[in-house]
Amino acid sequence: MLWTVDPASPTPLFEQLATQVRRSIVDRTLVRGEKLPSAKELAASLEINLHTVLRAYQTLRDEGLIELRRGRGAVVIADDPGLVNLHLMADELLAEAGRLGLAHEHVVELLEGRRA
């Protein structure tokens, strides 16, 4: 899998792992339907705790990238995690704005206002 984590890094281990899995999905190293290593295996491989791997997996599940099933493991469900997902999120954002009666420009302004 060529995934590694750095205990000395200020970024949490579970976040490091989640980021690497995301990258693997984005660059097609992992594709839809593919199975991830079991948390136990991966934990042993990375020399981190089982729970840390599970937390990374659960984070990815909350993001809609993988599916977790007891006894079955973790499976990639993201098809195109890139622009397709971004457009989906934009859809939802605009739909929500519509429910609130906000005009399209208001949403654009809202995002412009978030330019850090």
- The residue behind tokens 């990815």 is 60
Q: Which stretch binds its own copies (CB under 8 A): 3-11, 31-39, 67-75, 97-105?
A: 97-105
84 binds its own copies (CB under 8 A): no
- Interface of this chain with DNA, residues 18 to 37, rule: CB under 7 A: 36
45 binds DNA (CB under 7 A): no
- Interface of this chain with DNA, residues 72 to 101, rule: CB under 7 A: 72-74
- Interface of this chain with its own copies, residues 1 to 40, rule: CB under 8 A: 22, 26
Residues 6+ apart with CB under 8 A from 5: 13, 16, 17, 46, 48
102 binds DNA (CB under 7 A): no
Burial of 19 (0-12, 13-18, 19+ CB in 10 A): middle
CA–CA dist 38, 50 (Å, integer): 10
CA–CA dist 7, 46 (Å, integer): 10
Q: Which residues bind its own copies (CB under 8 A)?
A: 22, 26, 62, 82-83, 85-87, 89-90, 92-94, 96-97, 99-100, 102, 104, 107-108, 110-112, 114-116
